[in-house]
Amino acid sequence: MNLLKYFQFFGTLAAVLSPTLVTVASLPPQPPAQLASQREISLKFPDDTKERERINSSLGGGSRGIGVASCLKDDETPGNSSLKALAPITDSSKTIAENPSLFVYVPQTTAKSAKFIVRDNNGKEVYHSEFIPPETSGIVKLTIPETVSLELKQEYHWELKLMCNPTNYFSEENKSVDGWLLRTQLNSEQQKQLDCVRQAPDLQNLLQFPEEPSLFSCVRQTPELQNLLNSVRQSPEQRELFESLKQSPEQAKLYVEALVYANAEIWHETINNIAQLSDAHPQEWQELLASVGLEDFTQEKLLDCCTAN
């Protein structure tokens, strides 16, 4: 099964399943309050079309500079889009990384340069790079380098601008897209889940739900991770995906980490992990984008771009 379908059925499933081990053994019954809490952890990225249309697109990574002569080949853009940030429009664009990555659709352009700028909540520039845009349209990954560390609980504004008019940064000919980043942290339970996934000695066996729970003692101590894995186990389609993931421990860890991030409503790490799986498992990438209203971009290529000048 793919990621979107998992999200859709998880809330209902969690309400009727008590937590169980990833082996055949069962955990002791949990108090009703604890079960109620687990029913509420299901992540639902925004999927209400009317809500997306109501919100000004610039709040969620909208583009500016539309309607004037530009260096874009508009007939090549999906859904009549210009630049487009791949993020839920109603999401706060949370990240737990000091140096997160962003994904942006860039249409075919004749611009010879693009600027990527990150500013703190006071408008102070914390990062600035310039690069040559790709020759073809597609999705680019923009990463804030290790030389810059976003501060915890701080909000940052980012902007990507295609310099259609290279001599005037403020020209209306230039096309830009912007959005917000909020660096946050996982709570203690979510961090335990992530640590458990990363420390599993053999995630291939973890996905097989082996009879040796001693290998995965951390799983027994993280009921929400058990819920994630056990509910996935109930779906034939998801089991088919897991059979494929068993062939690659690294891919398996990326996928289960993405489940943990998504359940914690951490968008940037979720999409970053699924992007790394997009070649081997393109449907997971496509349905993640569709789950946040980005259906028009599911067939766009992830480009090997962009190195700052």
For 55-183, CATH gives: 2.60.40.2550
Query: What is the full per-residue pLDDT of the chain (309 aa) written as tens digits?
Result: 444 444 443 333 233 323 322 222 233 333 333 333 332 323 345 444 444 444 333 333 444 544 455 688 754 556 556 899 999 876 568 999 999 999 999 999 999 999 999 999 999 999 999 999 998 999 999 999 999 999 999 999 999 999 999 999 999 999 999 999 999 999 999 999 999 888 776 565 556 544 455 545 677 777 788 777 776 666 666 667 777 777 787 888 888 899 889 888 899 999 999 999 999 888 889 888 988 888 899 999 999 877 555
Q: How many other C-beta atoms are found inside a 10 Å radius of the C-beta of residue 168?
A: 11
Structure tokens at 194: 């992530």
The CA distances from residue 154 to 118, 149, 183, 267, in Å, are 13, 11, 6, 16
Sign for the pseudo-dihedral over CA of 132, 134, 139, 141? negative
CA distance 100 to 94: 10
Q: What is the pLDDT of residue 216?
A: 58
Q: What is the pLDDT of residue 306?
A: 72
Q: Helix or strand or coil: residue 258?
A: helix
Report domain extents, the chain. Answer: 3-42+186-265, 55-183
The CA distances from residue 79 to 217, 227, 291, in Å, are 48, 38, 16
Structure tokens at 269: 């790490």
